[in-house]
Structure 1
Amino acid sequence: MSPIEAKKRIEELTAELKQHNYNYYVLAMPTISDYDFDKKLEQLAELEKQFPELADPDSPTQKVGGEVTKEFVTVRHRWPMLSLGNTYSEQELLDFDQRIKKAIGDNFEYVCELKFDGLSMSLTYEEGKLVRAVTRGDGVQGDDVTTNIRTIHTIPKRLKEGDYPELFEIRGEVFMHRKAFERLNDERMQNGEVPYANPRNFASGTVKMQDSAEVAKRPLDCFLYGFYTDKTYFKTHWESLQALERWGFNINHSSRLCANINEVLEFIELWDKERFNLSYDIDGIVIKVNNYSQQQELGFTAKSPRWAIAYKYKAERVETELLSVTYQVGRTGAVTPVANLRPVLLAGTTVKRATLHNADEIEIRLQLHEGDSVFVEKGGEIIPKIISVNLDKRHANANPIHYIKKCPACDTPLERKEGEAAWYCPNDEGCPPQIVGKMQHFISRKAMNIDGLGDETIELLYKRDFIHHISDIYKLYERADELKQIERFGEKSITNMLDGVEKSKQMPFEKVLFGLGIRYVGETVAKKLALHFKNIDNLAKASYEELITAEEIGDRIARSIIEYFSGEIHAQEIEKLKASGLQFVVEEKEVTLASDKFAGKTFIISGTFEKFSRDELKDIIEANGGKILSSISAKLNYLVAGDNMGPSKLEKATKLNIPIISDDELMGMLG
């Protein structure tokens, strides 16, 4: 056989075998016997052996899987994996459209994409080779699952020659087709194993398995839709999608380029019906501004891009019986009612409980009675929620359900702050769920991230009288011998735990502040407070007027901080933590400037540039003493303008007579 004939036959066999794999794993409808499949596979393997230069790295002959991963390495994302803002409302989409127009004018397009119900994944390619696959994680860092992702046939392991950059990242969604899910779930039940609730859970559980050979037996698929590089490579998102397909990536062909919001709404209406005909689950539509420079102009909030939004379809609704209402006490003392329901299948999962939020929900909006028949749906497809009551089925003598007056954990009378819906237990130092919850929050990943200590261990140590306050965690080493008496506490686990406690003393002030669990002081607010006040003493003695001058600190947060530091127990706790060696001062980093030529000058960077990325220009300005502002005002000295700059910024800068300069002029100012 000549090389030309071999090339043609290899391509034919590869395409045919991939189709048979799809028919078997995805459609669960094989069209060929196992014997015939194996014979064709042998024929392909023999041809690849004779003509190795024609072998495809993605060939069906390539053995996939077999490596065992003891634990997944945490990897920081080069570009954060932000989540999208969600809406179920057509009006909110129209409002989103108006915000876009106000910022960048009328000359823009949208790209609409199906919102796959799967597991977000980031793939890194270097010189055309897949080198890393990382889960979303918390958006900043995720787990390296490269070995498992290599088992997915639709993800290229090595690209053929093309015009792609040397280093780039692709974002996509790993999922499982419904037919494959049903087939594998049937096998699990026949083997006496617990079935998965839905395809997304099955896909997620599969990606986190330790043996990639087992992963390879579970047919996962992946659609890719996001392209990231250091330099601007395409002008539009639509252009990048066409390139991804050209390079060999599996993109979804249902996406559409839309000229305006009306075309977006037509697309949403179409897929509200058509989604049930797909072989996989979607839960909505993602809408993105197409032009990359316009995306940059619109920017980001702390959690999501301003140039994209997800429209989610209405959740499935079912009817079931309310069995009882119980109450949970959180770490801040908020008491949340929970409805216990007769188990019912909803959106692929069995629902037994639903949140009731607060007293008003029970007594005013729903007016719940004992034994009511209620309609339940999943808010955002995640948390079950009671929507309404079927009054036609209410029992004649049913008693109304009233919200409790005392804490279910410590019997303390509940309090309700003016203007708030929630009731609170004020006994924060004596209420067991609050005490345990605070300590669990303190050790959590986003706070002190103490290795070797988990929520269950905290609960056990509290019950065994080892810890009652956060500061007690740093005294555990004094009771190491007593810890050995606890069942399942081996010497190694105790050593790991105490090492983790010791290591946590190096966590920065902002993490300690967040870990203290002051009401309304989340991760971002803690960072702002640490940067503004520099140390815990300045923060503790700050007046209301001083607090609200800090960035993002409003009335509610300021009053909560004052209330926290006025408590004698909290003051004593902080002194004990200081004595244990925790960081209560911001570590000032010494910055060496390249020059002070921009000292006292303020800048805004807008548009796109050929020679520099916006981040590079920002670094240059700050390295020479300049400051970057977030919005145009009379305080601004220069607007550094590139191509495709938004019209609103240009108009405002012109009105204020602010000098508009190019990147060349900026560099010229540095000489």
Structure 2
Amino acid sequence: MTTSSTRHADPDENPYVEEPPTDFDPVDDLSPEAAAEQAELLRAAVREHDHRYYVEADPLVSDETYDALFARLRDLEDAFDLPTENSPTRRVGGEPLDELETVEHVAPMLSIDNDTDAAAVREFDERVREGLAAAAESGELPGFDPDDLAYVCEPKFDGLSIEVIYEDGEYVRAATRGDGREGDDVTEQVRTIPSVPGRLRGDDHPDRLAVRGEVYMPRDAFEAYNEELIERGEEPFANPRNAAAGTLRQLDPGVVAERPLDVFFFDVLAWETDGDGSNASERPERHRDALDLFESLGLRRNDRVAVVDGIGAAIDYRDEILAAREELNYAVDGVVIKVDALAHREALGTTSRAPRWAFAHKFPPRTATTTVEGVTVQVGRTGRLTPVAELDPVDVGGVTVSRATLHNPAEIEALGVNVGDRVRIYRAGDVIPYVPEVVEKRSEGTYEFPDACPVCGAPVERDGPLAFCTGGLGCPAQLERAVEHWARRDALDVEGLGPERVEQLREAGLVASLPDLYDLTVDDLAALEGWGETSAENLIAELEATRNPPLDDFLAGLGIPDVGATTARALAAHFGTLDSLLDADEAALREVDDVGPEVAESIRTFLDNEENRAAIEGLRERGVDPEPFETDAGDGPADALDGLTFVFTGSLSVPRSDAQSHVEARGANATSSVSGNTDYLVAGESPGRSKRDDAKTEDVPVIDEGEFAALLADRGVAWPPENDA
């Protein structure tokens, strides 16, 4: 049972911990003092609820109650401009970053020696005992008792290793392992992970604590997320480790917040105190005690850690985890065996790359051989064709595998694989199997990739190693995923139009093209299984609200390859109207900042496709008319900054997206990277290093926000923006 002294919030003093009220008085009725006091109570309560939900898996309140508390806290912070540093509301993400800065670790994050052979583990134990005996003989470790040697055994997580630093109990920084000495600063990204506390629990902590952890994506969440990517027609992640690493390196913390990451903490990197006795003054003498302290501080640790007395028991532990591997909701590739006593670790020391007091007993690779019984070609949203080998089912590390990816036509050609061949199957990251080689050729020749789309029959075109269906939105497979994409939050944001409903609408014959969405009626929908009149009316209302979308949302919703929300906005700002974009050739498209030759060709190819063009015209015929991009928003003439190109870096007094919109509304260009066409690099606080280096290389002036404001004032443009909408 958690005691009140180590909780974020004491239920006897905080009304929002147990059976909290959610019928709040209007925010406008509060004084600034009362709002600040209530916000502080809510922050502590939300931290406690986060810990109980994400770390202890023992929630105190319902999801609805939690959402009400969280929303109230956010409303108070917004209404009274309260500080939000390390507030739980920061988990939803902050401003996108220019780049990942490199930072130096407070202590080296070393590798660990490893082997799959138990004999190598026994040799490690011999080295440890010899090293400790030598230290005892030299007087460095007086009174050493070989019987006191204990090991702590932990699963070896297959994720992304990070350093997390707390000062005075407050979260201040996170960084990836990198080369062990320096890593990427991922402070804002890690802040969004629910199981990473923004403030440590209780007071029994050092003034500065650096801990090592492993960020991972739970296996069930990974599989669900990959299904979502596939449904969108996007490339799935190969394994949970790639998913975690790729997510954590996203420059937009908001993207990270939407993905299901979790963390385990497993080691102390630095433990510093100011010596005044106000907090814990000494680091625990044993690793097992440090892990217990992690738990009391709210740092999530793994529940399968074991303390053993001999190396034989450590090897047995490894075999137990190997046997339980399939039960775990996280990927592991072995176990780590660590000397328990801190004094023993210090006596053993480290080499230049690895500690002498730890060893990883790895699991054997997961492979098997079987026969290819067929090849299925799947069609994604962009028309990309992905071949999948249908296999004679085979056990691979305790999991029956009947399908494996062949990636693309080029991979098939490189392997020389065909139906009937014996192949090796490898389970990458414990999840997605693939074919690394043909072990016995039993067929003639290589599988011939189809010349026509297996779904719609349209011709297939090759683009380097990849193949694409040319059917565009006329292909049913692409259509379903295109409709799902159209409805996404970062496109037209049509609530209630998920994958299952889209498939139902297509199979019912109601939606054979994207424009058909706008022919739907309440009666059409209400007649379908699982629909009622209310849900039908809601969807029709959602669709009606998208008949005059902003041009950039319309372009993002079309699902043009290589055109996300940022590029869609750049296109909208440059061309102003849909007709201007439709008439633009590749040369005109390349004039748009951030649109290179390949993206310009991709856009033009999409727009020239007859089915895609018919879909666009069909939408317009049904009254879906995107609004021209607005360029005049007050606070200065619309052409005041005509011809200038700005790049913004660092933190400004307003969000960078607002700064970009402000200058674009007055005729300027705002790009994300510095080039020879850039006129000014505007540097706020903590600017990105690479942009400054690029500015120096390209001889681009670097100005601070004050100089930027003066430049705008000279042209009759106000700063900061006040009237932009």
Scaled by the length of structure 2, the TM-score of the pair is 0.48
Partner of 1:358: 408
Q: CA offset at residue 318 of structure 1? A: 0.9
Distance 1:500 1:120 in 2: 43
Structure 2 counterpart SS, 1:416: strand
Aligned to 2:391: 341
- The answer to whether the 8 Å contact 2:294/2:301 transfers is no
**Contact 1:77/1:140 (8 A) holds in 2:** no
Partner of residue 432, structure 1:
476
- The answer to whether the 8 Å contact 1:603/1:640 transfers is no
Give how far 1:223 is off.
Answer: 3.1
Shift, 1:111, TM fit: 5.7
Cα shift at 1:461: 1.3
Give the equivalent residue in structure 2 for 1:328. Answer: 378
Partner of 2:514: 470
* 1:408 paired residue among 454, 474, 477: 454
- Cα distance, 1:408 vs structure 2: 2.1
Amino acid at match of 2:470: P
For 1:596-647, what per-residue CA distance to the aligned partner results, in whole angstroms no more than 9, with x for missing partners?
999999888889xxxxx56669899988999988548696678869899969
Q: What is residue 623 of structure 2 aligned with on the other side?
A: 580
Pick one of 373, 395, 398 that aligns with 2:422.
373
Task: State which of 517, 522, 534 in structure 1 corresponds to 2:559.
Answer: 517
- Which amino acid is 2:92 matched to? H
- CA 1:344/1:120 → structure 2, altered by over 3 Å: closer, same or farther? farther
Structure 1 SS opposite 2:573 = helix
The Cα of 1:344 is off from its aligned counterpart by: 4.3
Which runs of 5 or more residues in structure 2 are unaligned?
A: 8-47, 72-88, 112-155, 172-186, 220-238, 245-261, 268-283, 285-292, 303-317, 335-361, 715-725
Q: Is the 8 A contact 2:576 2:628 kept in 1?
A: yes
Compared CA separation, residues 109 and 458, structure 1 to 2 (3 A) = same
The Cα shift of 1:175 comes to 8.1
Measure, in 1, the Cα distance between the counterparts of 2:543 and 2:188: 24
Q: Which runs of no fewer than 5 residues in structure 1 stay unpaired?
A: 1-9, 16-55, 86-98, 131-138, 178-197, 204-219, 226-241, 254-272, 285-312, 608-612
Aligned CA distance change for structure 1 residues 143 and 573 (closer, same or farther; 3 Å):
farther
Distance 1:455 1:468 in 2: 15
Q: CA deviation at 1:140?
A: 11
Give the Cα–Cα distance (whole angstroms) in 2 for the partners of residues 329 and 174 of structure 1: 29
Aligned to 2:438: 389
1:486 aligned partner: 528
**Structure 2 SS opposite 1:511:** helix
Matches of 2:550 and 2:188 in 1, distance apart? 17
In the alignment, is residue 77 of structure 1 matched against residue 92 of structure 2? yes
Distance of 2:384 and 2:598 partners within structure 1: 16
Alpha-carbon contact 1:602-1:627 (below 8 Å) kept: yes
Aligned partner of 2:494: which letter?
I
Deviation at 1:550, TM superposition (A): 0.9
In the TM superposition, residue 326 of structure 1 has moved relative to its aligned partner by 1.3
Q: How many residues align?
A: 464
CA distance in 1, matches of 2:581, 2:709: 41
- What residue in structure 2 maps to residue 67 of structure 1? 61
Q: Secondary structure at the match of 1:65?
A: coil
Q: Report the Cα offset of residue 548 of structure 1.
A: 0.9
| Counterpart contact for 1:604–1:631, Cα < 8 Å | yes
Whole-angstrom distance in 2 between the partners of 1:283 and 1:83: 34
Question: Structure 2: which amino acid aligns with 1:489?
Answer: W
Confirm or deny: 8 A CA contact 1:319 1:373 kept in the other structure.
no
Whether contact under 8 Å (2:331, 2:430) holds in the other structure is no
Q: Give the Cα–Cα distance (whole angstroms) in 2 for the partners of residues 513 and 648 of structure 1.
A: 28
Q: Under a length normalisation based on structure 1, what TM-score does the superposition of the two structures give?
A: 0.52
Can you list the C-alpha shifts for 1:143-201, whole angstroms capped at 9, x where unaligned? Answer: 9997xx6xx9x997854499999xxxx99848889xxxxxxxxxxxxxxxxxxxx999x
For 1:358 and 1:591, the matched residues in 2 are separated by 51
Question: What is the distance in 1 between the residues matched to 2:658 and 2:474?
Answer: 54
Q: Is the 1:410–1:431 Cα contact (8 Å) retained in structure 2?
A: yes
For residues 477-498 of structure 1, give each alpha carbon's deviation from its aligned partner in whole angstroms, at most 9, with x where no partner exists.
3xx2233222222223212322
Kindly provide the CA deviation profile for residues 3-50 of structure 1, in whole angstroms up to 9, marking residues without a partner as x.
xxxxxxx99x999xxxxxxxxxxxxxxxxxxxxxxxxxxxxxxxxxxx
2:478 and 2:607 mapped to 1: Cα distance? 18
CA distance in 2, matches of 1:498, 1:513: 21
Specify whether residues 402 and 446 from structure 1 end up closer, same or farther in structure 2 by C-alpha distance, changes over 3 A only: same
Query: CA–CA distance in 2 between the matches of 1:654 and 1:420?
Result: 33
Query: Matches of residues 24-63 of structure 1 in structure 2 within 5 Å?
Result: none
Letter of the 1:491 partner, please give it.
Answer: E
AA aligned to 1:550 is V
Structure 1 match to 2:367? 318
Percent pairwise identity:
27
Contact kept, 8 Å, 2:549 with 2:627, in 1: the verdict is no
Distance 1:559 1:598 in 2: 29
Distance 1:564-1:381 versus aligned 2 partners, 3 A rule? same
Counterpart of 1:550? 592
Q: Per-residue displacement from partner, 1:246-287 (whole Å, max 9, x unpaired)?
A: 99453889xxxxxxxxxxxxxxxxxxx9xx999985679xxx
8 Å Cα contact 1:155-1:249 kept in structure 2: no
Aligned to 2:485: 441
Cα shift at 1:648: 10
Check conservation: 1:339, 1:356, Cα contact below 8 A: yes
Query: Which deviations, in whole Å up to 9, do the C-alpha atoms of 1:502-556 show, x marking residues without a partner?
Result: 3344653222212213334344432321222222111011122111111222333
* Deviation (angstroms), 1:465: 1.5
The 8 Å contact of residues 224 and 250 in structure 1, kept in 2 or not, is answered as no
Q: Is the 8 A contact 2:460 2:468 kept in 1?
A: yes
Aligned equivalent of 1:50: none
CA distance in 2 between counterparts of 1:481 and 1:141 reads 46
468, 480, 502: which one pairs with 1:458?
502
Deviation of 1:72 (Å) = 9.0
> Does structure 2 retain, via aligned residues, the 8 Å contact 1:325–1:340?
yes
Contact 1:416–1:423 (CA under 8 A) maintained in structure 2: yes
Contact 1:354 1:386 in 2 (8 A): yes
Q: Is the 8 A contact 2:385 2:467 kept in 1?
A: yes
Shift of 1:463: 1.8
Counterpart of 2:419, as a letter, is E
Assess, with a 3 A threshold, how the Cα gap between structure 1 residues 443 and 404 changes in structure 2: closer, same or farther: same
Q: CA deviation at 1:338?
A: 0.8
Question: Measured at CA, do residues 631 and 283 of structure 1 come closer, stay the same or move farther in structure 2, by a change above 3 Å?
Answer: farther
Q: Is the CA contact (8 Å cut-off) linking 2:675 and 2:694 kept in structure 1?
A: no
Give the counterpart letter for 2:404 in structure 1.
A
Deviation at 1:458, TM superposition (A): 1.4
Q: Decide whether the 8 Å contact of 1:155 with 1:250 is kept in 2.
A: no
1:535 correspondence with 2:577: yes
User: For the residues of structure 1 that align with 2:694 and 2:518, how far apart are their CA atoms?
Assistant: 57
Partner AA of 1:533 in structure 2: F
**In structure 1, distance between residues paired with 2:606 and 2:363:** 41
SS of equivalent to 2:460: coil
SS of the aligned residue for 1:328 comes to strand
- Per the alignment, residue 635 of structure 2 pairs with 592
Query: Can you list the C-alpha shifts for 1:116-144, whole angstroms capped at 9, x where unaligned?
Result: 557999x9x9x9899xxxxxxxx999999
Please give the root-mean-square deviation of Cα atoms over the aligned residues, in Å: 6.4
Deviations for 1:64-100, whole angstroms, at most 9, x for unmatched residues? Answer: 5243326996987342699999xxxxxxxxxxxxx97
Q: 1:376 to 1:449 in 2, by over 3 A?
A: farther
Matched-pair contact (CA < 8 Å) for 2:472–2:611: no
Q: Distance in 2 between the 1:619 and 1:547 partners? A: 22
The CA deviation at 1:473 is: 0.6
Aligned partners of 2:216 and 2:240 also within 8 Å: no
